[in-house]
Structure 1
Amino acid sequence: MITRTVMETPVEKNPHGVDARKVYDTEHATMVHITLQPGESLKKHITPVDVAFYVLEGRGVVEIGEERRECGPDTLVESPAHLPHRWTNEGDRPFRVLVVKVPRPTGATRLL
């Protein structure tokens, strides 16, 4: 059995400049825990695989393609491959989301 806590997992350097921690990474899938502080956001980007986001804490605004929606805890958001997307924390508390990429990306994420 392998266990790890999010806070013990190192922050990975990323083009968004936010707290992103890869908590699971196999040949089949990748999971990243992201924390956005108030006012922080991801840069709009495109991934080569489908992505599922599970909101853990706080409220964030997700943009996928032309759609924009505010989401709170226990919300699952699906983002198909090749569509521009990003998260923004417009609130006054930390926002935490679990990102699941399936299958594990073999190509690069493209910033817009």
Structure 2
Amino acid sequence: MLKLTSLSDAPRVPFDLDGRIMFSSQKVEMVHLTLKPGEKIPMHSNPFEVVFYLLEGELELIVNSDSVTLIPDSTVHVGIDENRSLENKAAKIARVLVIKVF
């Protein structure tokens, strides 16, 4: 059976960001995040892999001591337990899909 999830109907993430859980299973979760100009996710690590896919805008991703600027239609992989932060330094919103691989 197919299950369609729209952004407006997707459950919100349990923290203070505009995030929606678009899909979740035991192996993978996909979250749609919208970061406003100046909004930042502070440095943290997770016990799973993450792939970021930027849909719109521009985001700076810092992983350990490396930095990369995500532009639309680009991806970056972050490994298990690596420290990372994400920041919208641009003047417009950024939308990114966060794919968590468990």
TM-score (norm 1): 0.85
Residue identity matched to 2:94: F
How many residues were matched structurally? 101
Is the 2:11–2:22 Cα contact (8 Å) retained in structure 1? Answer: no
Partners in 2 of 1:13 and 1:101 — Cα distance?
15
1:2 partnered with 2:3:
yes
* RMSD (Å), alpha carbons: 1.0
Cα distance in 2 for residues equivalent to 1:7 and 1:67: 34
TM-fit CA distance, 1:3: 0.5
Letter of the 1:27 counterpart: Q
Map 1:1-112; keep pairs closer than 5 Å: 1-14=2-15, 17-103=16-102
Measure, in 2, the Cα distance between the counterparts of 1:26 and 1:12: 15
Please give the alpha-carbon distance, in whole angstroms, between the structure 2 residues aligned to 1:4 and 1:78.
Answer: 25
SS at match of 2:81: coil
2:41 is paired with a residue of what secondary structure?
Answer: coil
Percent same amino acid among aligned pairs?
29
| Larger relative strand fraction | 2
Question: What are structure 2's unaligned runs of at least 5 residues?
Answer: none
> Gaps (5+ residues) in structure 1?
104-112
User: Partner of 2:61: helix, strand, or coil?
Assistant: strand
Using the alignment, how far apart are the partners of 2:66 and 2:6 within structure 1? 33
TM-score between the two structures when normalised by the length of structure 2: 0.93
